[in-house]
Amino acid sequence: MKLSIIIVSWNVKNDLIRCLQSLYENQPSSDFEVIVVDNASADGTIDEIRKNFENVFLISNDKNCGFAAANNQGIERSQGEYILLLNPDTIIHPKSLDVLVKFMDDNKDVGACGPKLLSEDGTIQPSARCFPSFRGALYRHTAFKFLPIFRNEYKKWLMKDFKYETQMDVDQLMGSVLMIRRSVISRTGNMDENFFMYYEEVDLCYRIKQAGWRIVFVPEAVITHLGGRSSEQIPIRKQIMAMTSLLKFFRKHRGKLATGVFACVFKPAVILRSCCNIASGAAAYIFATLSFNERLRKKSAARIKTSATMLTKYAWQVLFKM
């Protein structure tokens, strides 16, 4: 078999149905299989798939075992030469999968590749990045955001100047649509299940690159990615999980000692950022109230609420459990 398509879902029934419909409407010309791994959804996903998609092989978990573990279940069950990790909040465009398969066929030194992603409004969605750095992480997640000293390192991490019309080798690609050569997975190992959510694809890409394989952005293939439909259900926990997984990545690939020193700065600076957000949000709220700016008032109130929740519910976890 040429291609195995693995989709992990959690309470995103409507998105998953739309994804599968677009997949079968624009299916690859080569032989393929579709494996859906459901992480104990409570929205009727299982019944809907069994009723309307008989060709889909369904794995139904009795608990949410995480993104990496669920993908590994699909990988172990799959048979394809290439494995496509596909998020349920994606829409397949015509010929996109054929383009990726042909690219892998023609480039035997490529371990993984991914398409150009579009947001729901048709704009390009950034999907290529360098591997994360300590300084970039400080700018992204902490009070260092208010200082310019690490801004360039953050831009480098997110490849802000990347040209999304050009085929190019990159460090990592977004895990929402990632095609991987099975022989590479056999050599590097499956996804690391220590990453419950976030940075599991970064870790996998890192190991693929370390093993000497190329990772390539292929803009000739186009797929729409709606983005964050599962994680939107847990917005603040999402932030905590992202930072927790980032620290796990650093410990694994930058060393425990270096990461431990980094964490001594990182964790307090995360809390400090929430404090700064509350202070600036309060000032903006007062100004908005006095100037009758309802939009700014609501935005400021939301910022205060989010930052206050981070402090009251998750500060202990940030400081001592991440």
224 has which bridge partners? 91, 118
| pLDDT tens digits for range 15-62 | 999 999 999 999 999 999 999 999 999 999 999 999 999 999 999 999
- Write the burial class of residue 249 (CB in 10 Å: 0-12 exposed, 13-18 middle, 19+ buried): buried
Position 41 scores a pLDDT of 94
Task: Kindly list the distances between the CA atom of residue 174 and the CA atoms of 68, 103, 135, 210, in Å, as whole numbers in the listed order.
Answer: 14, 18, 21, 18
Say how many residues make up the chain: 322
Task: Kindly list the distances between the CA atom of residue 196 and the CA atoms of 63, 65, 240, 302, in Å, as whole numbers in the listed order.
Answer: 13, 7, 12, 27
By the 8 A CB rule, do 13 and 45 touch?
yes
Position 319 scores a pLDDT of 84
For the chain, which ranges sit under pLDDT 70?
A: 228-234
Identify the H or E element spanning 315. Answer: helix 294-320
Domains of the chain, by residue range, sit at: 3-127+164-232, 130-161, 255-320
By the 8 A CB rule, do 174 and 89 touch?
no
| pLDDT tens digits for range 182-205 | 999 999 999 999 998 899 999 999
Strands (E), the chain: 3-9, 32-39, 57-61, 82-86, 90-92, 110-118, 124-125, 128-129, 168-169, 172-173, 177-181, 214-225
Position 236 scores a pLDDT of 79
DSSP state of 159: T
Position 317 scores a pLDDT of 83
Q: Within a 10 A sphere around the Cβ of 26, how many other Cβ atoms?
A: 16
**CATH no. of 3-127+164-232:** 3.90.550.10
Dist. CA 321–CA 69, nearest whole Å? 21
Query: Which residue is it, tokens 């100004």?
Result: 287
β-pair type (177-181, 124-125): unpaired
